Chains A and B, each alone.
Chain A
Amino acid sequence: AQSVAQPEDQVNVAEGNPLTVKCTYSVSGNPYLFWYVQYPNRGLQFLLKYITGDNLVKGSYGFEAEFNKSQTSFHLKKPSALVSDSALYFCAVRGQGKGNTGKLIFGQGTTLQVKP
């Protein structure tokens, strides 16, 4: 069965410092991996995705994520956090190939709090 784990309910970081939001996954076959951000009472905004190719993926607003197949991880990173980055972040996975339903499975979400 497909699953996604975001081990931290909340991440606190000071503005200007680097941030990391962790994500590990379990899926049969090769994964499609995604990060989304959600602001209060809003839908999800796409940040970045890994489909194939380079393990380091760059996305919107200066975010990037590194696909690590051996560790089955896809951690979200940003070199310098902004207060405006404070939001709820979701990691999601979709399996490829036969037997995969194409559904996105979401992690439980991590609240990022960036303090000035």
Chain B
Amino acid sequence: GAVVSQHPSWVICKSGTSVKIECRSLDFQATTMFWYRQFPKQSLMLMATSNEGSKATYEQGVEKDKFLINHASLTLSTLTVTSAHPEDSSFYICSARRLRGAASSYNEQFFGPGTRLTVL
């Protein structure tokens, strides 16, 4: 159990277009999902925390108008990169945390496989 999927796994787009990335928890409900960005051979940088039914909390330095996050249900969060530019090219990874009170005594995060975004 505890599988998180991301779609698409990779995307290439033209500069100025918008790209939507989906993150789904397949076999559990997630009150909270996290979006990370990773540059080659670097660590994961948390971009924002997404809570179901409320506005996302963005980390310092992350443009909320550029990286739109929607957490419409307990199994789906989306990240939309608006007006993408080549510097937005990166590996985007989401994670999902189980609903409180689930079997695990600690609300563990489960990571998706990542989405490779290339902006031309």
Question: Does A107 have its Cβ within 8 Å of any Cβ on chain B?
Answer: yes
Chain B hits for A98, CB < 8 A:
none
Q: Is there contact, CB below 8 Å, between A107 and B111?
A: no
B41→A109 contact, CB < 8 A: yes
**Which A residues lie within 8 Å of B77 (CB)?**
none
Residue pairs across A and B with CB atoms within 8 Å: the count is 48
Q: Which residues of B contact A46 (CB under 8 A)?
A: 108, 110-111
Tell me whether A44 and B106 are in contact (CB under 8 A).
no
Q: Which of the four size classes fits the interface of chain A?
A: 20 to 34
Bound complex: CA A107 to CA B43 (Å):
7
CB pair B43 A109 closer than 8 Å: yes
Q: Residues of B contacting A43 with CB < 8 Å?
A: 4, 6, 93, 111-114
Find residues 1-51 in chain A having any chain B CB closer than 8 Å to their own CB.
Answer: 32, 36, 41-46, 49, 51
Known: A103-B34, A103-B49. A41 touches B116 (CB 8 A): yes
Residues of B contacting A90 in the complex (Cβ-Cβ under 8 angstroms): 43-44
Question: Is A51 within 8 A of B105, CB to CB?
Answer: yes
Nearest chain A residue, comparing its CB with the CB of B115? A43
CA distance A36 to B88 in the complex (A): 25
Chain B residues in the interface with A (C-beta under 8 A): 4, 6, 32, 34, 41-44, 46, 49, 91, 93, 95, 97, 105-114, 116
Q: Which 7 pairs show the lowest CB-CB distances between chains A and B?
A: A43-B113, A44-B111, A43-B114, A43-B111, A108-B43, A106-B43, A106-B44
